[in-house]
């Protein structure tokens, strides 16, 4: 028995992180999804979701669901525009604010606040999704 079998007796969810600005999955991610679809082949792929980064809403999302394997077409997608990165950029711009950007600083701050609120709401959605799942025993997964 290896350490994985000793430490993990079930898997409740798999959250796939992907850049929401890139239209297609890379080869490594596609390969991982192929493996996931075979692992969960006898159960609905309900425990798999996507967290798409660098995008605040579907208007800014370039990631195409068409690039997903059929098994993942209905998987939940959560969107996250990193508020920490936006805050850093805002503070950087604030420190360097000149006449050209000074008038925009209020708009930038509001964008950061909006991103923080969106991220909190997205986390609530992820936790709600997690609460709806049942753990999958790992012996079947590890045998694959």
Question: pLDDT for 3-52, tens place per residue?
Answer: 555 667 778 888 988 888 887 777 888 888 888 777 765 555 688 899 98
Beta strand ranges found along 48-129 (DSSP E): 48-53, 77-80
The H or E element spanning position 124 is helix 105-131
Q: Would you give the distance in Å from CA 79 to the centre of its chain?
A: 6
Task: Name 37's Cβ contacts closer than 8 Å, sequence gap at least 6.
Answer: 45, 69, 71, 72
Does the pLDDT at position 117 exceed 90?
A: yes
CA distances from 83 to 10, 62, 79, 129 (A): 32, 19, 12, 22
Q: What local confidence, expressed as pLDDT, does residue 118 receive?
A: 93
Q: When comparing pLDDT for 123 and 28, which is higher?
A: 123
Q: pTM here? A: 0.78
């Amino acid at each position: 028995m290896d350490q994985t079998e000793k430490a993990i007796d079930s898997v409740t969810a798999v959250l796939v992180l992907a850049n929401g600005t890139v239209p297609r999955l890379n080869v490594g991610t596609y390969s991982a999804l192929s493996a996931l679809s075979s692992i969960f082949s006898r159960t609905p792929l309900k425990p798999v979701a996507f967290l798409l980064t660098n995008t605040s809403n579907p208007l800014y999302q370039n990631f195409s669901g068409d690039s997903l394997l059929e098994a993942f077409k209905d998987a939940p997608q959560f969107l996250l525009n990193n508020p920490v990165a936006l805050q850093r950029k805002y503070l950087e711009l604030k420190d360097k604010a000149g006449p050209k950007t000074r008038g925009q600083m209020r708009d930038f701050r509001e964008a950061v606040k909006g991103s923080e609120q969106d991220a909190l709401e997205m986390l609530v959605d992820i936790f709600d999704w997690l609460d709806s799942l049942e753990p999958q025993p790992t012996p079947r997964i590890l045998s694959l």
